[in-house]
Amino acid sequence: MPEHLNAEPELLLKLLSHTSPPGSTGPVIAIDLDDVLSQTNREICEWHNEVYGTKMELSDFYYFYYWKNPYWGNLQETFSKVKDFYATQRIYDAQPVAGAREGVQALRDMGFRLIIVTARSRDVQEDSWKWVDKWFHGEYLDLISTCGSQFTDFRLRFVRFCCLYRPIYRRRYE
């Protein structure tokens, strides 16, 4: 493993310091997009019910992997359904999670630098940023895609995206 993947937290913050606007020295907080900021599962649930005539509810989402949840089918069927959902552009109609904007503002007011981390694929990054900009204009510094990588160890996943910080789509408010 490359040496920089074993970096200590202080080094990670130093590596991320270029994400902060001039004069900002607060710690960085990475926040997930789907179902933390955006009600993505609510939107896909409604779509699934309309298209497939199901009675899916948010309480049916037991796992991050949709194919492990009721109504989705096997892995291949699930990928096909998710692809069809993205083609509708409904993901960008999702409302923010209740209280998310107030929570984000409170974190900013406390001096934290905020970045979004998402497992959304590269081909939807620009549209995802438009959604963020619509609902959270100026609150976030960057949108970072982990490109759906499936690492089993969270620390490795976090260190990897921090140390190899090369967002697919990035916009800064300065």
- Classify 118 as helix, strand or coil: strand
From the candidates 32, 35, 127, 142, which is the catalytic residue? 32
Q: At what angle do helices 125-136 and 100-109 cross, to 10 degrees?
A: 80
User: Would you give the DSSP letter of residue 50?
Assistant: H
Buried b or exposed e, range 33-48, using 16+ CB within 10 angstroms? bbebbbbbbbbbbbbb
Q: What's the half-sphere exposure (Cβ side, CA atoms, 13 Å) at 19?
A: 28
Can you read off the two tokens belonging to residue 120? 């959304």
Query: Residue 32 catalytic?
Result: yes
> 141: closest CA among 3, 10, 13, 17?
17
CA distance 77 to 90: 19
Query: Residue 84 catalytic?
Result: no
Can you read off the two tokens belonging to residue 60? 């049916």
- Enumerate the active-site residues: 32, 34
